[in-house]
Amino acid sequence: MEYNPHRRLYNSTYSIALFIFGIILFWEVLGHNFFIFDDSAHIFENPLISSFSLKSLISLWKNSFIAMTYSLWGTISYFFGSKNTMAFHAVNIFFHCINSVLCFYLIKRVLEVYYGKNIQYLQEISFFSALIFLVHPLKVEPVVWVSALKDLLSSFFALSATLIYFKKNYTLKSQLLVIIFATLGIFSKQNIIILPFLFVFFDLIIFRIKLYDSFKKNIVIIVSGLIVGFYHLDIISHSFKFSSANMSGRLLLALDSINHYFLKFFIPYPLVFDYGKTIDHFIIRWHSELSTKIGVFLILMAIIGIFLMYYKNKRTNIFIGFMIFLILIFPSLGFVSYPFQNFSTVADRFFYLPSLGFSLILAFLFVDYKLNENKKFLTAFTIYLFLCTALSLVQIGYWKEPKYIIAKNLQVTPDSYALNISYGTIMKNEENYRKAAYHYSVALRLKPEMEEPRANLEMLLKKINRPDLIEKLKIQNFILDIKKELSKAF
């Protein structure tokens, strides 16, 4: 590739532009002065973080699977205080902006390696592809939600490792850096154990290295990743109760999840924290809704089509982008059990790093079809970019207060136990007792064995002076107690 003396200046300019645009887009988040969902348990209610010290740090690395994330939270807490929401939000925004810059450099490097020639408008194509990564509404949740730092931090280490992997001179020092970054990524979030297999894919498809040589090249990171991964899976399998769906059911679930992400990428509305798509819920939808079967069938046909195009050597680049997405999203598709699966098998934050594949497909299409010279496409792309930015701003607004994001979520998933409990608590604190009682009653209907909604509902019914409903609640509790006693007999 011919040397361009202005290339470094262009790269720096586009990098700074991405970073500044990201700060402007998410500036409002700095004023979100609250923690939500798991934030409190992770941070200011966690003595290891709120009273961070060297002893806490050692304890975290001994006992936590996301010790790197907790270490960063502890550092923020130590310097700025465990209840300083602005500091925690600022760190999330910083890493998202940095990750977008890393995407810019990585997309540019992949295009250089794949095409092996001087590509016209290389920086511009890479910039706009990375801009989609930066502004897409699916990125709002992982940036705005403090607890999603693990997704941002693990992505930072994964992108850094991948960028080093694509260096022209891949030396022993480079390999050591890749191992270090990948390991730190795994200790930020366990999903990064899939990264070595992405490297093997790059070796086979882009660098044209034989499978044996690729495994030999990546053996250290593969083995270490598998050890951490299997140990983690063994722990969570004994700590949480999961659905007993068989492998065929999980395969259908995975296809449904892929379909969900495809649709949300192109039509990012509505976006919520908890989609309520549990395995059991999917099984019910599979047997009762034709639309679910059609969605799974169409995405299966699309996947087969992508593989056939690659096999016939027609669209290798689209195959590369899709496989990057598929490899990175694989740990979250439902084949492996994880705690959030009990609430939903899909989440916006799961799509954070895998969306790199979609940005890369866009970059490939720009190059292959010279879309940068196609006025109609550029107009459509500009409109899509504008809509993504506008929807992201709207989505950020929903996260302004806990009750807004939960109320919006309940419109999509009214039968969520956790959300009804959360909203009931908010309404109770605001002394809106009737509304609080309603949401606690919904939660109790969903999980009648739980004590929290039952106790709160009884207290609220007393406040609104409904002794008749209290009597009915006691009868229900009595019946439930009988069921529990009878179940013990079996």
Please indicate, yes or no, whether residues 336 and 392 belong to a single structural domain of this protein.
yes
**Domain housing 153:** 7-44+83-403
Please indicate, yes or no, whether residues 348 and 477 belong to a single structural domain of this protein.
no
Tell me what the mean pLDDT of segment 433-443 comes to.
Answer: 87
State yes or no: pLDDT of 241 exceeds 70.
Answer: no
Residue 346 lies in a domain: yes
Residue 342 lies in a domain: yes
Please indicate, yes or no, whether residues 431 and 342 belong to a single structural domain of this protein.
no
Please indicate, yes or no, whether residues 262 and 130 belong to a single structural domain of this protein.
yes
Q: Using the 3D structure, point to which of 403, 434, 456 is the last residue of a domain.
A: 403
The amino acid present at 253, given as its one-letter code, is: L
Mean pLDDT of the chain: 84
Residue 63 lies in a domain: no
**How does residue 389 score in pLDDT terms, banded at 50, 70 and 90?**
very high
Per DSSP, helices labelled H in 399-466 are 402-412, 417-429, 433-446, 451-463
Please indicate, yes or no, whether residues 113 and 148 belong to a single structural domain of this protein.
yes
Residue 267 lies in a domain: yes
Q: Using the 3D structure, point to which of 373, 403, 433 is the last residue of a domain.
A: 403
Please indicate, yes or no, whether residues 160 and 15 belong to a single structural domain of this protein.
yes
Percent of the chain with pLDDT over 90: 32
State yes or no: pLDDT of 263 exceeds 60.
Answer: yes
At residue 250, the pLDDT reads 80
Q: Cα(141)–Cα(33) distance, rounded to whole angstroms?
A: 16
Neighbours of 188 (CB within 10 A): 27
Phi, psi dihedral angles at 187 (to 5 degrees): -85, 0
Please indicate, yes or no, whether residues 126 and 173 belong to a single structural domain of this protein.
yes
At residue 7, the pLDDT reads 66
Please indicate, yes or no, whether residues 324 and 254 belong to a single structural domain of this protein.
yes
Q: Cα(308)–Cα(434) distance, rounded to whole angstroms?
A: 58
Residue 195 lies in a domain: yes
Q: Using the 3D structure, point to which of 374, 403, 432 is the last residue of a domain.
A: 403
Number of domains in the chain: 2
- State pLDDT tens for residues 157-200: 999 999 999 887 777 888 889 889 988 998 898 888 889 889 99
Please indicate, yes or no, whether residues 391 and 442 belong to a single structural domain of this protein.
no
**How does residue 5 score in pLDDT terms, banded at 50, 70 and 90?**
low
Q: Cα(43)–Cα(47) distance, rounded to whole angstroms?
A: 8
Q: Cα(199)–Cα(263) distance, rounded to whole angstroms?
A: 27
Quote the strand ranges of 296-422, DSSP E. none
**How does residue 23 score in pLDDT terms, banded at 50, 70 and 90?**
very high
| Choice among 51-55, 220-224, 392-396 with the minimum mean pLDDT | 220-224
Please indicate, yes or no, whether residues 39 and 155 belong to a single structural domain of this protein.
yes
Please indicate, yes or no, whether residues 383 and 485 belong to a single structural domain of this protein.
no
Please tell me the pTM assigned to this model.
Answer: 0.89
423: domain CATH number? 1.25.40.10
Residue 109 lies in a domain: yes
Please indicate, yes or no, whether residues 361 and 474 belong to a single structural domain of this protein.
no
Residue 154 lies in a domain: yes
Residue 77 lies in a domain: no
- State pLDDT tens for residues 7-20: 667 788 999 999 99
